[in-house]
Amino acid sequence: MNNLSLYIHIPFCIRKCHYCDFLSAPCDEETRQKYVDALCREIIQRAEEFQNRKVDTIFFGGGTPSVLSAEQMEQIVSTIRRHFQILSDAEISMEMNPGTVNKEKLETYKKLGINRLSIGLQSADNEELKILGRIHTWENFLQTWEMVREEGFFNVNIDLMSALPGQTLESYGETLRKVLALKPEHISAYSLIIEEGTQFYKWFGEEYEGQSEQVVQGNATDMNEALSIRKSKALPDEITDRKMYELTKTLLEEQGYYRYEISNYALKGYECKHNIGYWKRKEYLGLGLGAASLISDIRSTNITDLQTYLEVGNQKEETKLSATDQMEEFMFLGLRMMEGISPTEFEEQFGQSLQEVYGTQIAKLEKQGLLEFCRETQRYALTLQGIDVSNQVFVEFIQ
């Protein structure tokens, strides 16, 4: 039986960032403890279904898991270890933000077996961090980084964002160079997406682009604030965004990082096993508010209402994936990885050949220079041009 991955959602943060649409919010200490207790109850309950499964990756995401106390993290991890079979060499990752950890917390993480950290830096420019709504400065990050290394963590990812309001190609390049000087084992580099429901959407979203009558009448103060910020902190244009994207690849590859997924770079041997599991459609169990799971052909999502979760426990919505759904996921998730997808694996999973199902789409994309077949690996993968327009490629495989 295949190994299982666990995702643990911690929906708390110190302050909501201006770009963030994740299921997270600030809260008081009492609520955090109630959540930890409810989460542990869910862990115990769901573990009963997976007594014969071994867990090889665990990922604590959020939110900001590091806002929890050392004692709360110990309560969660000890509950997991008591009720699931955790492999001795399991990858156990935890997201954290600068300014939310201290020596005690890091010592506890080490003792609990957490062996991979992911630090949300986003930018090394303090003005850019301020417009993002981050709680830290570059100097705060460096203090956190020094503690992380002193406590013996040597499998660490740093998250970066490009195409930020007011960001220039020069300031982004400076961020990359400062981060590379630290020699982290892994770097995730994403281009900013303006999501509905965020502060950035109020400032830079489509409705403010058009300055619709409804917005002007209903939110004049917000509109004035948005116009002021947009004027002083304009988003980089498409050409600059593209240059930032290309600069990331150039500088990171020069320093020995290889791109194994569209937005992820690693030194050899430091790829994130947990995330690779997502892209390869490995089974995973999500625990906590809003967490998603994929078990066999069932995709489920936990409830997102915190009060209900605290009072009555988790309830989840389930969707049975059709064969077509699963094939589509195999294609658009697998093609995110630079190694691409295997026709042999496709046929083994679905009992049909890749050409039989997607031959027309593959031929079209090959003709356009967006997809290619590597005879050495016997896999289809995106070309450099295909990576640049990956969403356009993925749409071809969705009915």
Q: From 143, 145, 126, select the one nearest 135 (Cα to Cα).
A: 126
Same domain as 257, residue 393: no
Spatial separation of the C-alpha atoms in residues 145 and 121, rounded to whole Å: 10
Indicate whether 139 belongs to any domain: yes
Burial letters 79-88, b for 16+ CB under 10 A, else e: bbeebbbbee
Q: What pLDDT digit, counting tens, does each position of 156-172 carry?
A: 999 999 999 999 999 99
Which domain CATH number covers 25? 3.20.20.70
Give the pLDDT of residue 223: 60
One domain for residues 158 and 39: yes
Residue 290 lies in a domain: no
Residues 358, 269 share a domain: no
In the block, tokens 């000890």 appear at 78
SS3 content of the chain, % helix, strand, coil (to 5): 45, 20, 30
Enter the pTM of the model. Answer: 0.94
> Looking at the structure, do residues 263 and 343 belong to the same domain, yes or no?
no
pLDDT bin (cut points 50, 70, 90) of residue 217 is very low
The predicted structure's pLDDT at residue 219: 53
Instruction: Among 218-232, 344-358, 364-378, name the one with the lowest average pLDDT.
Output: 218-232
Q: What is the mean pLDDT of residues 310-331?
A: 96
Where among 226, 260, 278 does a domain terminate? 278
Domain end: 248, 278, 308, which one? 278
Using DSSP's 3-state secondary structure scheme, residue 312 falls into helix
CA 37, CA 70: separation in Å to the nearest integer? 15
Q: What is the tens place of the pLDDT at every residue in 35-58?
A: 999 999 999 999 999 999 999 999
Cβ neighbours of 243 (radius 10 Å):
16
Instruction: Specify whether 50 is located in the same domain as 155.
Output: yes
Question: Is residue 294, in this structure, part of any structural domain at all?
Answer: no
Residue 96 lies in a domain: yes
Whether 53 maps to a domain, the answer reads yes
Among residues 209, 243, 278, the one where a domain terminates is 278
In a domain, 225, yes or no: no
pLDDT over 90 percentage in the chain = 90
Examine the domain organization and report whether 123 and 260 are in the same domain. Answer: yes
Same domain, 118 and 43: yes
Give a three-class secondary structure readout of 95-107: EECCCCCCHHHHH
Residue 1 pLDDT exceeds 80: no
Residue 255 is predicted with a pLDDT of: 98
Instruction: Tell me, yes or no, whether 12 lies in a domain.
Output: yes
Give mean pLDDT, residues 207-211. 47
3-state secondary structure of 192: coil
164 domain residue, yes or no? yes
Confidence of residue 226 (pLDDT cuts 50, 70, 90): low
What domain range includes position 342? 322-399
Q: Alpha carbon 350 to chain centroid distance? A: 28
Q: How far is CA 205 from CA 22, 84, 209, 220, in A?
A: 17, 44, 6, 15
Q: For residues 260 and 334, state if they share a domain.
A: no
Same domain, 395 and 259: no
* Structure token digits, residue 109: 């993480």
For residues 57 and 118, membership in a common domain is answered with: yes
Residues 29 and 150 in one domain: yes
How many structural domains comprise the chain?
2
Look up the CATH number of the domain holding residue 329. Answer: 1.10.10.920
pLDDT in tens, 277-297: 999 999 999 999 999 999 999
Q: Are residues 378 and 272 in the same domain?
A: no
